[in-house]
Amino acid sequence: MRKVGVPRDVNAAELKRDLDAVFGDFKRLCNDPNVRKDVDKFARVSGYLSAEDLETQFTC
């Protein structure tokens, strides 16, 4: 079972500082239009259904 809270062997203040920094980076990533452009481009590839894909018939 996974636990909740600061692990025993970790300095709480240091962890908080690190997490705040990661959160800041995450917010910047989310607001960066260039990142979003790349993300959308990849999603169009991974979620793309070609005409051939659409005609795949499940015969089992």
| Site residues (vs other proteins, CB under 8 A) | 1-7, 10, 12, 15-16, 18-19, 22-23, 25-27, 29-31, 35-36, 38-40, 42-43, 45-50, 53-60
CB of 7 to other proteins, least distance (A): 5
The distance of closest approach from Cβ of residue 59 to other proteins in the complex, given in angstroms and rounded to an integer, is 4
In angstroms, what is the minimal distance from the CB of 56 to other proteins? 5
Contacts of 12 (CB under 8 A, 6+ apart): 6
Q: CA 37 to CA 31: how far, in whole Å?
A: 11
d(CA 33, CA 21): 20
